[in-house]
Amino acid sequence: DTGVSQDPRHKITKRGQNVTFRCDPISEHNRLYWYRQTLGQGPEFLTYFQNEAQLEKSRLLSDRFSAERPKGSFSTLEIQRTEQGDSAMYLCASSSQGGSNQPQHFGDGTRLSIL
Amino acid sequence: GDSVTQMEGPVTLSEEAFLTINCTYTATGYPSLFWYVQYPGEGLQLLLKATKADDKGSNKGFEATYRKETTSFHLEKGSVQVSDSAVYFCALSGSGSGAGSYQLTFGKGTKLSVIP
């Protein structure tokens, strides 16, 4: 059973650089979510895709953040001109079609550290 | 907006002790409720869920009952093991309508340490 895969696991970069993360969901899942988790906090919702359509964006997702899911399979999350406050764990999750009771399955996350 | 409140941690218990982690929520409509567990260095794993009032979710000896009248979803286990040491998150989804109802709203998490 292949779960949600995220790459890279860790990313260290200097402030001002651009970074891109990749998420590969469970193959039969058509919904994909991005969350951000800071130390000692629960994950916070960033954005959501159904197939290739981005249907919801949190106000946490500033103009420096962009997410894509071009063919309705894998997704990328890009952060431009990174800032110290972007340091966090970025989590991807996927779920199958159905109501909001469908559980979301999470990857192990990408930990971003801004120097 | 929606919110989830969990009891503050950390919680330290001896092996075989009884566990309760309190969770209450504020939401419009009828949300689905979840408990997720995060082991050190790993992503979140679904532990159990309940989708309507009076439903009981259970898994691996853990249980939680959806109490609409008290807006609560407390996590319980009768006898904890060292391997249960992790961070536990209560979450809800689906309280509204439209695309936004699919996102999960999480509590801050409760760290559990079980000592032999």
- For residue A94, the model assigns a pLDDT of 95
Closest residue in A to B96 (Cα–Cα): A100
- For residue A72, the model assigns a pLDDT of 85
Is pLDDT of B101 > 80?
A: no
Assigned token pair, B38: 């995060």
Closest Cα of chain A to B115: distance in Å? Answer: 21
Average pLDDT over residues B55-78: 97
As beta bridge partners, residue A107 has none
Q: What percent of chain B has pLDDT over 70?
A: 94
Which of B31, B46, B105 is opposite residue A103, by nearest beta carbon? B46
Asked whether the beta carbons of residue A43 and residue B46 sit closer than 8 angstroms, the reply is: no
- For residue B104, the model assigns a pLDDT of 93
Closest residue in B to A53 (Cα–Cα): B99
- For residue A32, the model assigns a pLDDT of 95
Closest Cα of chain B to A84: distance in Å? Answer: 22
- pLDDT tens sequence for chain A (115 residues): 579 999 999 999 999 999 999 999 999 899 999 999 998 899 999 999 999 999 989 988 889 999 999 988 999 999 999 999 999 999 999 998 777 778 999 999 999 999 9
Does the bond joining B10 to the residue before it have cis omega, within 30 degrees of 0?
yes
pLDDT band at B96; cut points 50, 70, 90: low
- For residue B97, the model assigns a pLDDT of 55
Closest Cα of chain A to B95: distance in Å? Answer: 9
pLDDT band at B36; cut points 50, 70, 90: very high
Q: How far apart are the first and last CA of chain B?
A: 41
Return d(Cα B68, Cα B25) in angstroms, integer.
Answer: 10
- For residue B100, the model assigns a pLDDT of 58
Q: What percent of chain B has pLDDT over 90?
A: 78
Does the bond joining A8 to the residue before it have cis omega, within 30 degrees of 0?
yes
| Number of residues that make up chain B | 116
- For residue A40, the model assigns a pLDDT of 87
CB B37 within 8 A of CB B109: no
Q: What is the DSSP letter of B72?
A: B
- For residue B95, the model assigns a pLDDT of 60
Asked whether the beta carbons of residue A101 and residue B43 sit closer than 8 angstroms, the reply is: no
- For residue A99, the model assigns a pLDDT of 74
CB A92 within 8 A of CB A25: yes
Asked whether the beta carbons of residue B104 and residue A109 sit closer than 8 angstroms, the reply is: no
